Structure 1
Amino acid sequence: MSTAVTAGASGAPRRVPATVHRRRWAILGVLIFALLVVVLDNSILNVAMKTIASPAPIGLGASQSDLEWAINSYTLVFAGLLFTSGLLGDRLGRKKVLLAGMVVFGGGSLLSAVAGSPGQLITFRAVMGLGGALVMPATLAIIMNVFERDEQPKAIGVWAGAVGLAIAIGPITGGLLLQHFWWGSVFLVNLPIVLVALVGMVLLIPDSRDPNPGRLDPVGVLLSVIGLVLLIYGIIKGGQLADFTDPAAWGTVAGGLAVLAAFVLYERRAEHPALDVTWFRNPRFSASVAVIGLVFFALMGVTFFGAFYLQSVRGYSALKAGALLLPLAVAQMAFAPRARLVVDRYGVRATCAGGMALVALAFLGYLTLDTTTPIWVLEVIGFVMGTGMAHVMPPVTVTIMSALPREKAGSGSAINNTFRQVGGSLGVAVLGAMLSAAYRNGMSDHLSAVPPALRGPAGESIEATLGVARQLGPRGAALVDPAKESFVHAMHIVAGTSAGVILLGAVVALVLFPGRLPVPDAVGAQPEAEPEAAPAETA
């Protein structure tokens, strides 16, 4: 007779019911659908911005501020509620939270597609952020509960590869949709994916939760939400103003940090804390979340200027610019699922540090780009960056999740995603402000021939400069080449800074990461969650 707990390849007892274990890869496929729709939507939206800014009936006539908040309203809600949604999954059941998140995300997508004004779009994007916050932690937490420890690195590698795929195919999908349909199609395309995912989730995914969640901690949850929302809002505001010395930026950031400090102090004294702050005493856990933040700080900042380089400097359409991201995605898809083999041979420390060195090399590769560099150089840079990321994200994620008990997988996944989101938002804001300042300095000597009323707007960004150049007709032609050269110079400054941030992350990995992750023993180094009941099988 075989039971739901059997011996694995390593000799340790299996903790996943046999009926769940048999369908684990199908479950992963369904989770990837959920992941794709969340990540895909954000990358698609970037392509649709110019169309949404067009006057009705082509677009909504959204202003630059409207467009920024269409992105930021999602980010604000998503990042602010990630930790809380992870706690809900651990307490109420991850399948229930995942299903709720997909329904909310699908509803927000439908409403966004039919929005009649920029204000409505901003509101409905916030609804989508709520859905995304419920979905993201649950996907990784479920993976940790349907795969045994020996297969988790491979599963997380596939999960990470799917993120790279979504980032790459988003702009291509958006470009194709906008060629044939109205702007709302970039949101409506989510609905078929959501429906397929919901059916698969209901049929295949087991529920799991923390069997001993303790009492509720409403004060801790409230402090975490307020602190994260204030922090992210301040970061976004500083990026919009390109000035973090403005009280609206630094004051809000300081307020968010103060509330988060109060949250940590409260959690240290709480009898049933929402977050066990002692987790951060584990060097591999705290180092891993720090590396996640540093990597996404650099990566999102460079992603921000990459789109402008391809479209504004090199003149590629949105569709072609999206296609040029494929080498990055192909590298992640090819290497992320196999990163565990490198970890098995060389260890976590060497693999992650080596991966970050490759990413830093790719950032330094941007320094070779100018306005006429052969485009294959950028393709090589993208492939190198994707290869490096594929050897960073899966092992770092495994390191974070394996440092925690299985029943806390939702909270661990939420912390992982929160640090990634905060790091990415900070990267876009800080590196974006750095890019804007360097660009304005580069253009300051070329605007004397521009009418005084247009000099301010002409120096704000490369898109603004090119817009003024078109408005001035033949007189504006003299602005085009300086605008492109100034942007490339600003891009080099940001790329060099990003390389330095990534190398700092590599140093953290070399100093604090373990050579190899500890192997769970037969007694159970990782406590068992409470998967959906499955009867024991009999021969």
Structure 2
Amino acid sequence: MAAAGRFEKLRSNPWLTLISVALGVVMVGLDGTVVSIANPFIARDLGASLESLQWVTNSYLLALAVLLVVGGKLGDRFGRKKVFLTGIIGFALTSLLVGLSGSIGEVILWRAFQGVFGALLMPNTLALLRSVFPAEKLNSAIGIWGASSAISIAAGPIIGGLLVENVSWESVFYINVPVGVIALLVGIAVVRESRDDRPGQRFDPLGLVLLSGGLFALVFGVVKAQTWGWSSPLTFGFLGGSVALLALFVLAESRVAQPLLPLSLFRNRTVTLGSVLVLVNFFAMFGVLFFVTLYLQNVHGYSAVGAGVRLLPLTTVFMVGSPIGASLTTRYGPRVPIGLGLLVTSAALFGLTQLDANSSYLRLWPSLLALGLGIAFVAVASAEAIVGNAPLELSGVAGGLQSTAMQLGGAIGTSVLGSILTARISGVLVDKLVGAGAPERLATRLADSAETVSQGVALTPPPGTSAGVGEALAAGSHAAFMSGLHVALLVGAIVTLIGACAAPFIRASGRPTDSGAFAAG
């Protein structure tokens, strides 16, 4: 009895719940950034193409995006603590299996299962915070939640770089096992269970099938468009199928007594715009991180640790910017930090378009710093805009909605910006090679090498060619890569600028505590 009393006392302290939730977020955050550092090593060890490398990221994002709302609904229905801890256990185990993989196909498979368990974990972190913190302290808790994610994002490139250089790329996944064990033990001890206790609750299998199918078709179609082409019938088929399934989902949810995703959430302008703008925010972030890492390692030749250190302005400012964004949200509501964050992000992306293959680090770090600040503001304020405006009993679903927007933005950003980069490289590669001094006949023979160049890798000269030709191929390859990178960054900058223009339409948020308090404004 005494032990039970001690546990009950621990579970009555919301700050201990925040520590447990933060550990889960750290595990997911570490995994996200160490993968970008490990990608070049995975490619060399397992012979992966750029498309395969993108699937290492996108298989995870695909599973995550498809199931996040479902994970939040499961938490609301069966217990947020239970589903959160299940996610931690599964995420740790699948991380171990990724490290034990012997082929790129196995890596992609287990990364997808990581996404499944991440979908159980992530939406319930915000829901657990919403269930234990009073309204006046929730923004501070969300700021620390964001900062804990940022700490792991900041540490990930350094830890990942040290591990891949001194141990192996597999070890960057093994690190999730001890972190998961600690998170599990702390969660069992300090987190109080919460759920939607309204009578007559039922699960919505039709909604689950339609929403999951629609999101899968959307993300898969966008990702595969890089291979099939955007005008391919297969691409149109998947994207058209996505529209049809999501339209059927909306129709079905409007007629179900207990819907998977209550459409009433979207009557609130702040929830709807917040979801769209967080998607825009992470569209830019994931695309930039993927290709800037390749730029640092393959164009500039930095080691994994060196690349991680040079990303610190972004990741460290993300950590510092999260509490600042929470403070701004408390004072002004989500409108100001979201609008300001997207403006700063857009300016940072415009700044990155000024880089070339020989740019010094002094031209890179200011844009990374601004990017970290802008992304932090939007990430924290969007959590308030979406989760803080949802009825308390739907906080798991709202957390899933916010996380879904983040992951959809990441998957679409990586794929769309990757397609833009590769298409641009294909169009300019021969000219850039010839302009750098490569023989025109050789350049024409290498015209189909955009796949290699899109990783920032210099083309290998044929046997027997002179050193000068090799240098010309390297210079031309890097010039083509930079041309593609500039166009991709410009698109990201324009998209985030348009998002910033929409931010003023977000209304100051209220904090409903039940369905009756949920307003449409």
| TM-score, normalised by the number of residues in structure 1 | 0.87
Are the aligned partners of 1:104 and 1:131 in contact in 2 as well (CA < 8 Å)?
Answer: yes
What is the rounded CA distance, in whole Å, between the counterparts of 1:194 and 1:473 in structure 2? 53
The count of corresponding residues between Structure 1 and Structure 2 is 504
Change in 2 beyond 3 A, CA 1:492/1:458: closer
What is the rounded CA distance, in whole Å, between the counterparts of 1:470 and 1:146 in structure 2? 65
Are the aligned partners of 1:240 and 1:429 in contact in 2 as well (CA < 8 Å)?
Answer: no
Are the aligned partners of 1:465 and 1:479 in contact in 2 as well (CA < 8 Å)?
Answer: no
Are the aligned partners of 2:66 and 2:216 in contact in 1 as well (CA < 8 Å)?
Answer: yes
What is the rounded CA distance, in whole Å, between the counterparts of 1:129 and 1:62 in structure 2? 20
Are the aligned partners of 1:94 and 1:208 in contact in 2 as well (CA < 8 Å)?
Answer: yes
Deviations 1:12-59 (Å, cap 9, x if unpaired)?
A: xxxxx99468522222122111111112113212222232233xxxx3
1:80 and 2:85 correspond: no
What is the rounded CA distance, in whole Å, between the counterparts of 2:513 and 2:232 in structure 1? 54
1:182 and 2:174 correspond: no
Aligned to 2:284: 298
Are the aligned partners of 1:217 and 1:274 in contact in 2 as well (CA < 8 Å)?
Answer: yes
Deviations 1:63-119 (Å, cap 9, x if unpaired)?
A: 555434333322222211111111111000011111111111111112222123333
Aligned to 1:251: 237
Change in 2 beyond 3 A, CA 1:309/1:415: same
What is the rounded CA distance, in whole Å, between the counterparts of 1:211 and 1:109 in structure 2? 34
Q: What is the 5 A alignment of 1:56-71? A: 59-71=45-57
Deviations 1:507-532 (Å, cap 9, x if unpaired)?
A: 1111x211x323669999479xxxxx
Aligned to 1:47: 37
Are the aligned partners of 1:336 and 1:390 in contact in 2 as well (CA < 8 Å)?
Answer: yes
Change in 2 beyond 3 A, CA 1:35/1:435: same
Amino acid at match of 2:219: I
What is the rounded CA distance, in whole Å, between the counterparts of 1:459 and 1:112 in structure 2? 25
1:468 and 2:455 correspond: no
User: Matched residues, percent identical?
Assistant: 34
SS in 2 for 1:27: helix
Change in 2 beyond 3 A, CA 1:442/1:194: same
Match of 1:26 among 16, 20, 23: 16
1:237 and 2:224 correspond: yes
Aligned to 2:203: 216
Are the aligned partners of 1:436 and 1:460 in contact in 2 as well (CA < 8 Å)?
Answer: no
What is the rounded CA distance, in whole Å, between the counterparts of 1:245 and 1:489 in structure 2? 23
**Does 260-269 or 391-400 show the bigger shift?**
391-400
Match of 2:142 among 149, 152, 156: 156
1:513 and 2:506 correspond: yes
Amino acid at match of 1:517: S
What is the rounded CA distance, in whole Å, between the counterparts of 2:472 and 2:55 in structure 1? 33
What is the rounded CA distance, in whole Å, between the counterparts of 2:410 and 2:364 in structure 1? 22
Shift of 1:464: 7.1
Deviations 1:292-339 (Å, cap 9, x if unpaired)?
A: 111112222222221122122222222111111111122121121132
Aligned to 2:476: 482
Aligned to 2:350: 364
Match of 1:225 among 199, 204, 212: 212
Amino acid at match of 2:449: P
1:355 and 2:341 correspond: yes
Are the aligned partners of 2:58 and 2:411 in contact in 1 as well (CA < 8 Å)?
Answer: no
Amino acid at match of 1:129: G
Deviations 1:179-201 (Å, cap 9, x if unpaired)?
A: 22133211111101000000000
What is the rounded CA distance, in whole Å, between the counterparts of 1:507 and 1:130 in structure 2? 34
Are the aligned partners of 2:18 and 2:129 in contact in 1 as well (CA < 8 Å)?
Answer: yes
What is the rounded CA distance, in whole Å, between the counterparts of 2:35 and 2:466 in structure 1? 30
Aligned to 1:137: 123
Aligned to 2:246: 260
Change in 2 beyond 3 A, CA 1:371/1:457: closer
Shift of 1:391: 2.1
1:318 and 2:318 correspond: no
Change in 2 beyond 3 A, CA 1:523/1:73: closer
Amino acid at match of 2:162: L
1:499 and 2:490 correspond: no
Unmatched segments (≥5 aa) in structure 2: 1-6, 435-439
Deviations 1:358-396 (Å, cap 9, x if unpaired)?
A: 111111111332233331231111111212222222122
Change in 2 beyond 3 A, CA 1:269/1:473: farther
What is the rounded CA distance, in whole Å, between the counterparts of 2:47 and 2:342 in structure 1? 41
Match of 1:404 among 371, 374, 390: 390
Unmatched segments (≥5 aa) in structure 1: 1-16, 528-539
What is the rounded CA distance, in whole Å, between the counterparts of 2:457 and 2:179 in structure 1? 39
What is the rounded CA distance, in whole Å, between the counterparts of 1:137 and 1:520 in structure 2? 19
What is the rounded CA distance, in whole Å, between the counterparts of 2:333 and 2:462 in structure 1? 55
Shift of 1:273: 1.4
Shift of 1:348: 3.0
| TM-score, normalised by the number of residues in structure 2 | 0.90
Q: What is the 5 A alignment of 1:4-19? A: 19=9
Are the aligned partners of 2:99 and 2:174 in contact in 1 as well (CA < 8 Å)?
Answer: yes
Amino acid at match of 1:500: I
What is the rounded CA distance, in whole Å, between the counterparts of 1:459 and 1:338 in structure 2? 41
Structural RMSD (CA): 2.5
What is the rounded CA distance, in whole Å, between the counterparts of 1:416 and 1:132 in structure 2? 14
Change in 2 beyond 3 A, CA 1:404/1:459: closer
What is the rounded CA distance, in whole Å, between the counterparts of 1:513 and 1:153 in structure 2? 17
